[in-house]
Amino acid sequence: MVPSPSWISRINVPSPTAIRQILYGVILGVSLSIASTSLAVYYQARKRERRAAQYQPRPIELRREEVLSGVTGLIGNTPLIRINSLSDALGVEILGKTEFLNPGGSVKDRVALRMIEDAEKNGLLYPYTGSRIFEGTVGSTGISIATIAVARGYNATIIMPDDVAEEKVKALLALGAEVERVRPASIVDKKQYVNLARRRAIDFGKRSSLDRANSLTDNGSPHLLKSPPSVVISTLSTHATSGADADPRADEDIISKPRGFFADQFENKSNFEAHFDGTGPEIWRQTDGRVDAFVSGAGTGGTIAGVGQYLKSMNEDVIVALADPEGSGLYNKVKYGVMFDRKEAEGTKRRHQVDTVVEGIGINRLTNNIELALPIIDDAFRITDAEAVSMSRYLVHNDGLLLGSSSACNLVACVKLVRQMGWKDGQKIVTILCDSGTRHYSKFWNDEYLHTANIPNDSHIVLDLLDTPITSSSE
């Protein structure tokens, strides 16, 4: 027998058998805890393997040897570029998804295509039936819808606030869309552009079914008078669906009826899905599954929700950060849980819903697509107009990239995130280059306009931002 060490005799342990039992107990406990830890590690590894199996790595297709079917064939599958100036300055990889290369000129092409395709799949829309698509938008989604509508045999009516950049209206008119411009108003106002788009879709549906019924009555088939008006409201969130056809596939007559279709990018989940099934997987492939953060603004919330959720489903450690312009309530919602904006509280908010030169992102109400985004947003950055303008000038001078306001906002947020995380070892930050500067000549790229708005038009703010030493908790 091994003599008991002195400490055992001091605590007065009765017998060697008891010591053995204690030892066994300790060994059992330790091995159990090792077993459970390794079990957890094992399950995590399995989860990763399963995800990896779902993800089929394939190169991003080059369209060299392929003939695409029409303009919609050009939508999506956009290249990812390294923003060289910012990446070199920060020692990380700032990567931009070049959505401005879509045929309609913006990331919204993906959303418009998916909304229209889903409506066709669900039997709500049929091409070449005289049907008309209605949407309320600050412009880009309208241009995308107008483009796809022509290609697919629909007409489009776009309702937009009257303060958006003039070049967007010109593009819409050139594409043959009907444009209605309204005073910016709150969402509770019936004349707010989104509400008006829904209203117009309903009116169109009622009118066209009435016209049709009348012409058929002349031909001696009055039964159609009783058929419901051909109004299609895509979202369930509205009470106006009562006029929709119960079973749209019921018969030929109903199918060939002209319909008013309200696309509703703010509420419809097709928006989210376009990014969850398209943009997200593309980014994962293009970075070979190595992405540390995704940064995006939110106008409807579809992009950040769809891409963010997809990337997190592949690797839960991916950081999702929101870039929010001045006047938007989302920053406060993410940071403090309330949609409170200081400008609004002080009564300095003017007639704009979101008072900023940045168009297309920022919002002051919760929509279905924003709700999908909120749970996965890890951090938010408030970007001032001056910062966004500064970034756009910096990029044009250093990279030859002429970008729109939301892209510039996104890139300022990328820099802020990198500084906050203290990253400098090649971490990959992906963001969206939503549209080109050519969509923004009348405001964001108009030096005189900026001068009257008292917004500096050089890149010194970005230079300062890149120069500031890294602090652990700067905003």
- Which stretch, 36-44, 72-80, 203-211, 229-237, contacts ligand NAG (CB under 6 A)? 229-237
Please, which residue, 168 or 269, has the CB nearer to ligand NAG? 269
Q: What binding mask, one character per residue, do residues 133-162 give for ligand NAG by CB under 6 A, x or -? A: --------------------x-x-------
Radius of gyration of the chain (CA): 28
Hey, how many other C-beta atoms are within 10 angstroms of the C-beta on 370?
A: 23
In the complex, minimum distance from the CB of residue 40 to ligand NAG, in angstroms, rounded to a whole number: 36
Please, which residue, 405 or 431, has the CB nearer to ligand NAG? 405
Please, which residue, 128 or 336, has the CB nearer to ligand NAG? 128
Please, which residue, 162 or 458, has the CB nearer to ligand NAG? 458
Residue 189 interacts with ligand NAG (CB under 6 A)? Answer: no
Residue 282 interacts with ligand NAG (CB under 6 A)? Answer: no
- Assess contact for 319 and 417: CB atoms under 8 A: yes
Residue 244 interacts with ligand NAG (CB under 6 A)? Answer: no
Sort 322 into a burial class: Cβ within 10 Å, 0-12 / 13-18 / 19+.
Answer: buried
Which 3 state secondary structure label does DSSP give 316? coil
- Assess contact for 376 and 305: CB atoms under 8 A: yes
DSSP notation for 201-269: HHHHHHHHHHHHHHHHHHTT-GGGGGSPP-EEE--TT-GGGGGS-SSTTS-HHHHTS--EEE--TTT-H
Which 3 state secondary structure label does DSSP give 104? coil
- Assess contact for 156 and 149: CB atoms under 8 A: yes
* Phi and psi at residue 182, to the nearest 5°: -125, 160
Query: Of all helices (H) and strands (E), which one includes residue 93?
Result: strand 93-97
Of 257, 269, 333, 443, which one interacts with ligand NAG (CB under 6 A)?
A: 269
Please, which residue, 114 or 382, has the CB nearer to ligand NAG? 114
Give the interface size with ligand NAG as a residue count (CB under 6 A).
21
**Residue 404 half-sphere exposure toward CB, CA atoms < 13 A:** 27
Residue 253 interacts with ligand NAG (CB under 6 A)? Answer: no
Residue 259 interacts with ligand NAG (CB under 6 A)? Answer: no
Of 118, 292, 355, 359, which one interacts with ligand NAG (CB under 6 A)?
A: 118
Residue 267 interacts with ligand NAG (CB under 6 A)? Answer: yes
Residues sharing a CB contact under 8 Å with residue 225, sequence separation 6 or more, in sequence order: 213, 217
- Angstrom CA distances, 272 to 269, 305, 313, 368, stand at 5, 6, 15, 9
- Which stretch, 57-65, 135-143, 264-272, 359-367, contacts ligand NAG (CB under 6 A)? 264-272
Of 166, 189, 458, 475, which one interacts with ligand NAG (CB under 6 A)?
A: 458
Please, which residue, 131 or 364, has the CB nearer to ligand NAG? 131
Of 312, 393, 440, 443, which one interacts with ligand NAG (CB under 6 A)?
A: 393
Residue 176 interacts with ligand NAG (CB under 6 A)? Answer: yes
Of 95, 119, 372, 455, which one interacts with ligand NAG (CB under 6 A)?
A: 119
The residues of the shown chain that bind ligand NAG, judged by CB under 6 A, are: 115, 118-119, 122, 124, 153, 155, 176, 234-236, 267-270, 393, 447-448, 451, 457-458
